[in-house]
Amino acid sequence: MAMRGRAKGRRGATRIKLVRPRPVDAHVGARVRLRRTMLGMSQEKLAQALGLTFQQVQKYERGTNRVGSSRLYELSKILDVPIQFFFDEMPAEIAATARGGNGGFAEAAADYQPDTLAKRETLELVRAYYRIKSPRVRKKVFDLAKTLGRGEEA
């Protein structure tokens, strides 16, 4: 996703330039989406709790808008997670660019791929798995998934 920013041209004319989300912002947004989805909360409901529009929540989740520190604190309370949750599982190369290493954000932005755990399919699978009441049946489903996964790798 690209967001629009305004920049002045040489003669003072305003032109629009596209800016990629920074990898850290994309990661934090993906973690917001992961937790919201795990709770079964809609974007509308989260937006209402924050006093925002659902479009603003979408922008946070995509990383196109940065989440400020006070908003991050609100999100941690609403989503019932510690603030560190939003930075957990951050790939080392993204964390390194956030500290100013490896040439800055521009290089990492092109290579950033969202975490597999943040995909809707994964979240729906986990939710369905935990809706299985019987621990024995749940274990069999787990073993089946592991077996099928090994078959794909061969």
Domain ranges of the chain: 3-117, 119-154
pTM here? 0.58
Residue whose C-alpha is closest to residue 90's, from 107, 69, 113? 113
User: Is 115 within 8 Å of 104 (Cβ atoms)?
Assistant: no
Structural Rg of the chain based on CA atoms: 19
Q: What is the CATH number of domain 3-117?
A: 1.10.260.40
What pLDDT, on the 0 to 100 scale, is given for residue 79?
94
What pLDDT, on the 0 to 100 scale, is given for residue 98?
65
What pLDDT, on the 0 to 100 scale, is given for residue 41?
92
What pLDDT, on the 0 to 100 scale, is given for residue 5?
54
> What are the residue ranges in the chain where pLDDT is below 50?
1, 3, 101-110, 112
Question: Residue 14 forms beta bridges with which residues?
Answer: 8
